[in-house]
Structure 1
Amino acid sequence: MKFKTQIMILFSLALFGCASTMDTPYKKAHTPPSESSTYKTSPSSSTGQKSPATQRPYKIKGVRYTPIASATGFVQTGIASWYGRKFHGRKTSNGEIYNMHAMTAAHKTLPMNTWVSVHNLKNNRKIVVRINDRGPFVYGRIIDLSYTGAKRIGITGAGTGKVRVTALGRATSYSKKTKDPIAFKPVDYWKGNLTVQVGAFQVKVNAERYRYKLSKTYQNAHITTFTDDRGTFYRVRIGRFTNLKDAIRFSEKIIAQGFGSAFAVAE
């Protein structure tokens, strides 16, 4: 996991997702599509457009799940659970490393990197977390929170709690003091101002050198800065598109030309 912020559309082999129950032993049945630097797509059954790997339908324990293309207006009420130390340090479905202390969560169908509000209906506590994993795959449960997220709304003791999940969208600005997102824009994969990301660096000068090199061949070579709990990243991007389909085609083209990593993003 998109429009002032990035909708990262990474693609690869399936990676491990979150647990099907709170902090329980890992079950290999939980291997939904994931994101990485290798690009793969499949047709969308409803639009005929190509979909990011984490947007493809998948099946777990005989149940088929179809990720939604847009989080606009999404509201869901049900049971939240959490997963913690057992999965700390493992890869999530979008290719990130799971951090039980970060404000993240797993959901079966929301687009990756969607920020959602989670409201504990019993004690009225609320949190905002980012979807970066798939799950939980237990009947009646709608979201798996990180340990810290679950602790903040008071469900770590009981293990579960009734919540209301409201999609906020992509974060468009962050608090300078807390680094928490404070403004959002609805998620929609299929339209917007798109480009293609070809590299990410934690050393700014390396990103600038790569951008300069690419600017000699490609239009709109530029750098965007992104900061989260892992640190600051300087993302190098090229090209400008008005729809996902064209951005995907360009990604495929330059990968065939030798780029080790290229994927569509919306800005």
Structure 2
Amino acid sequence: MPPNLADIPDATPRAEPLRAASKRPYVVMGNRFTPLQEIQPFTQTGIGSWYGKKFHGKKTANGEAYDMYAMTAAHPTLPLPSYARVTNLSNGRSVVVRVNDRGPFLHSRIIDLSYAAAWKLGYVNQGSAKLQIDAIVPDDLDSLIASSPVMQRVVEPASVTEVATPAIPASASPVVSAEVPAAASESGIFLQLGAFASSTNADKYRDALQNDLKWLQQAVQTRFIGDKYRLHVGPFRDVDEARGIADRIAASLNVQPFVVTR
């Protein structure tokens, strides 16, 4: 067993090709399941369980070896591989997992988490808990579709299709903003605060954050990646530091920051 399960970082969402074989409908125990054909917004609430030593090292539906100490999960229909935020509704704890397996298929369970993920959510001893699953869409939504009060203030009515994606900062000083070409920016672990089709809305959201998060120490950069203006803050030493800042932002603004690497 790892020396400290608390030190195991959440899965870091990134764009991955979907496994073609995992898109096919299948039948288990007389029930037919039709997997989602693409990564898309998805929310589900119900009883989740976990699986551990009995399956450790065995092949997952994605063709990988199951690691009970990795932040992974099995789901009947989510794309493989994909990422999801799972929240324990009894205590408010949440983790990000990589979905790389199929299941569970018994007792109307909605998801099987790895031992490590279930331990971090606090239900290993109980065996199951009421959970909420929110799929993470790396490119277009980057996280859960934000219902941020900040976003509601700053997006123009004509641009309601804009999507804000949460991110994360660091310590205690005003936010500095700058637009940086992707090629010129540094690499490492960052937090994404938003993704916008227009630079105008990106700037408005950045300015609102600057006003509401005066404790942020690191600069917020606007980077045009793909077809979106993305607000990144960082880099951070490691995922744990980024998650700590993410939790602080989530608590103050009711948005869930999204860790990205570049």
Structure having the larger proportion of residues in strand: 1
Structure having the larger proportion of residues in helix: 2
Interval of TM-score (by shorter of Structure 1 and Structure 2): 0.3 to 0.5
